[in-house]
Structure 1
Amino acid sequence: MSAGRRLLFATICAVSVATVYSAQPILTRIGDDLGISGAALGWIVTAGQLGYLVGLAFLVPLGDMVDRRTLIAGHLLLTAVGVLAAASAARGWVLLAGVAVAGLFAVVVQTTVAYAADLSAPGERGRTLGLVTSGVVAGILGARIAAGAVATAWGWRSVYAAEAVLLVVLAVLVLALLPTDTRTGRTEYRQVLSASIRLFGGGLFLSRGLIAMFVFASFGALWSGLALPLEASPWHLSSAQIGLFGFAGLAGALGAGRAGRWADGGFANRVTGAGLVLLAVSWPATAQATWSLWLLVVGVLVLDFAVQAVHVGNQHLLTASHPDRTSSVIGGYMLFYSVGSALGALTTTAVYSVAGWTGSSILGAVFAIGALAVWAVGRKVAQPAATPAEFACAAPAIDPVDVVCRAEPTS
């Protein structure tokens, strides 16, 4: 796994996930142009999220069946079709359909993460996941920053047009630079879906999924509600100024790339635990948003660092535990992520209307503590070895779920 290949994987993730989130800062512009009422604008974001959920359930498992290089390129092109439809939409329903199609195939992110993990040497898997999943966070946060700037300069349609061009270029690069997937013995689609459902009965998968749900609920509580106190007294910040806080979040997330190296050293579970403690600790600083922007910046930095560290640790453990079906396990794991993100977004605004930003911050902290409790209860869940006769541990395990395995036959 060369540095250039890691960068390509990370870029695919960033651009693909941006297609789901880039509508958020330009909703008003879209509504004014297409005559969509303010009450209905939320459906633009919701359409992309619903498409993404469907893709996680039914498209990501394809990565365990077919050549993932071809699958990634195809899904990038189909995502481009969706955003082109959105860019050229003259009616609201056409825009919604385009955004939904883009969200459906934007799950190429999960296939990309799984393929990157499989192409990495066992001792480099965490490092690769750290960089590639940093691309996901960069796409989520960067979309908010870039979309507003591009729309201000050239209109909201230019945002989707630019994404379409980038997606097509990436599809060409995938076919030119990535190796053909040489796996053998692939199963039927029905069998892959059945195996994906059975994952939810596994102790390690379920505990990591619940942790992800709480973590991204905490993440959503921050980023879906942060504009509310910043638009209010005493700050009265503009949308563009609020968007700049995305740089703090991006810096924190990218800084967590080191967590992948720690996971490679056999400490993936401890990385997760430490990240959850940091996540809970970040909220007292973030809660001060109504009187100190500096403390808010510190809180945002720590929170995004913690979320990314936990995310890397979880995916490292899951892909090491299920090396024969990494696409399915990543797709299933991300279903928890989607539920958590939606939960955080819905609850933070409701709580803010009753208890202000202090209430929203308490909510975010409660989600973080919930994740920490799941980790504490499940940390002794034994990691299920893929096939004991085929996988040997790379290092002695200090903790049962800190085992990192490599695909080498035992004697």
Structure 2
Amino acid sequence: MNPALDISQNKPLLWLMAIACGLCAGANYYCQPLIASIQQYYQVPESEVALTVTFAQVSYALGLLFIVPLGDMLNKTKLIPALMCGAALGLMLCATAVNLPMLWVGTIIAGLFSVAAQVLIPLAAMTVKPEKTGEVVGFLMSGLLVGILLSTSIAGLLSDLIHWKAIYVASSLAMFSLGLYLRGQLPTLPKFRINYSSIFRSMGSLLAEEPRLVLRSWTGAFAFASMSILFSTIALLLTQPPFNLADVMVGIVTMVGVFGALSTQVIGKWADRGYIRLLTWIGCSILAGSWLFLYFGKTSLISYILGYALINLGLAMVHSCNQNIIFRLRPDAKSRINSIYMTLYFIGGACGSAAGVYAWHHGGWSMSCLTGLGFAVAASFFALIDQLYQARAANAKS
């Protein structure tokens, strides 16, 4: 790492990168509080509109798999702004969509190119000292998670004040402007001499040679699947009796997750100090326990809000610990490692969203909660396997 490139000392640039991460991530979640409004606008079944969340996450996962690895091959300073402009184009297509399929196309384009955030994060990890990795990555993750949460609140607010399409117009313009500005601000790093086909062969090698990458990826995937059940069901639950909340109120409810999002920098600092195992288990426990509050949230808004806050905190802890581990595995392959991890992470999210819709329509809120708890238990299982593997590897060295 070239000390001259250490962005941990450049606070304005870190803030801009965190905002960019938030804009990119938030682009995939605007539809969550808007499902009822979109359904009324296009006059299509509610279940079809709910699939928009799944399309966003599937396309994001594809972008993670096929686009993010380019960060180890191309100039990140040019790649990141280009991706942000592509996402802005997708968002503008959503804003001008005349039917639901057109909205889906715009959502897919935005999802594919909004992976710019996942090129920004490895870039930051490559320009700081190892002992600062958790803190800086945690700061950018705070921006990313706050962006997701604010996106739903602002989407609901603009829907009530103007129109549900307003958020797509505003976000598109903001994404395009910030992408162009970052082009002249991001540090330039040397490119690795590797071609596109070699990238995927090397990713296969990473999966075979780094068991902790695999185990932590599955831990993150199931943890995010547990959380993502709420993404596709929150509007279905809160816009119906006994709550009957408007779009803006659904968005405001999600704001309690900001506390979990803002905790990622602190979690990163503690992870840097060697408390990864403890933080992982606390996170998994909170993740599972949150579903008890969410279950009673069927009739109690306070219980739902507490559960939503806790599940965000639990996910933030697990995810921060996962990234702290994987970014230390291969310093020369951070983009590819992040691609593998985040691809599985968002595949888990897409499966969670789809499972949430299925559970809702076949067993109601009780089935949705049981499914979410099952995903949380699965995340804990893979965290346990990772712990056992690490202990065995340590004993083998001694």
Give the alignment of 1:2-401 within 5 angstroms.
Answer: 2-30=10-38, 33=41, 38=46, 40-42=48-50, 44-90=52-98, 92-181=100-189, 183-201=190-208, 202-382=210-390
* Counterpart for residue 5 of structure 2: none
Deviation at 1:286, TM superposition (A): 2.3
Say which SS state the counterpart of residue 257 (structure 1) adopts.
helix
Bigger fraction of residues in helix:
2
Preserved contact between residue 127 and residue 261 of structure 1 (Cα < 8 Å): yes
Question: How many percent of aligned residue pairs carry the same amino acid?
Answer: 28
Partner Cα separation in structure 1 for residue 28 and residue 41 of structure 2: 20
Bigger drift between 289-298 and 368-377 goes to 289-298
Deviation at 1:198, TM superposition (A): 2.7
Deviation at 1:44, TM superposition (A): 3.9
Measured at CA, do residues 97 and 368 of structure 1 come closer, stay the same or move farther in structure 2, by a change above 3 Å?
Answer: closer
Letter in 2 for 1:192: I
Partner Cα separation in structure 1 for residue 221 and residue 24 of structure 2: 21
Say which SS state the counterpart of residue 225 (structure 2) adopts.
helix
Measured at CA, do residues 155 and 232 of structure 1 come closer, stay the same or move farther in structure 2, by a change above 3 Å?
Answer: closer
Partner Cα separation in structure 2 for residue 220 and residue 27 of structure 1: 15
Preserved contact between residue 259 and residue 309 of structure 1 (Cα < 8 Å): yes
Preserved contact between residue 256 and residue 306 of structure 1 (Cα < 8 Å): no
Deviation at 1:91, TM superposition (A): 5.0
Bigger drift between 345-354 and 303-312 goes to 345-354
Deviations 1:132-170 (A, max 9, x none): 112222222222111121233232332222112111221
Say which SS state the counterpart of residue 375 (structure 1) adopts.
helix
Partner Cα separation in structure 2 for residue 28 and residue 294 of structure 1: 22
Partner Cα separation in structure 1 for residue 225 and residue 294 of structure 2: 15
Deviation at 1:189, TM superposition (A): 1.2
Say which SS state the counterpart of residue 273 (structure 2) adopts.
helix
Deviation at 1:92, TM superposition (A): 4.8
Deviation at 1:400, TM superposition (A): 5.0
Partner Cα separation in structure 2 for residue 96 and residue 354 of structure 1: 25
Deviations 1:58-115 (A, max 9, x none): 1110000111111111111111122223323445554433322211111111111111
Preserved contact between residue 253 and residue 307 of structure 1 (Cα < 8 Å): no
Partner Cα separation in structure 1 for residue 106 and residue 380 of structure 2: 38
Say which SS state the counterpart of residue 27 (structure 2) adopts.
helix
TM-score where L is the length of structure 1: 0.86
> Unpaired runs of 5+ in structure 1?
384-398, 402-411
Measured at CA, do residues 354 and 88 of structure 1 come closer, stay the same or move farther in structure 2, by a change above 3 Å?
Answer: closer
Say which SS state the counterpart of residue 89 (structure 2) adopts.
helix
Preserved contact between residue 230 and residue 289 of structure 1 (Cα < 8 Å): no
Letter in 1 for 2:348: G
Letter in 2 for 1:96: W
Bigger drift between 280-289 and 126-135 goes to 280-289
Partner Cα separation in structure 1 for residue 389 and residue 113 of structure 2: 34
Letter in 2 for 1:149: L
Partner Cα separation in structure 1 for residue 47 and residue 299 of structure 2: 31
Partner Cα separation in structure 2 for residue 297 and residue 340 of structure 1: 23
Preserved contact between residue 86 and residue 94 of structure 1 (Cα < 8 Å): yes
User: Aligned residues, how many?
Assistant: 385
Deviation at 1:313, TM superposition (A): 0.8
Partner Cα separation in structure 1 for residue 86 and residue 241 of structure 2: 44
Partner Cα separation in structure 1 for residue 97 and residue 367 of structure 2: 40
TM-score where L is the length of structure 2: 0.88
Deviation at 1:120, TM superposition (A): 2.0
* Counterpart for residue 390 of structure 1: none
Preserved contact between residue 252 and residue 300 of structure 1 (Cα < 8 Å): no
Letter in 1 for 2:374: V
Measured at CA, do residues 338 and 356 of structure 1 come closer, stay the same or move farther in structure 2, by a change above 3 Å?
Answer: same
Partner Cα separation in structure 2 for residue 44 and residue 295 of structure 1: 27
Say which SS state the counterpart of residue 106 (structure 1) adopts.
helix
> Unpaired runs of 5+ in structure 2?
1-7
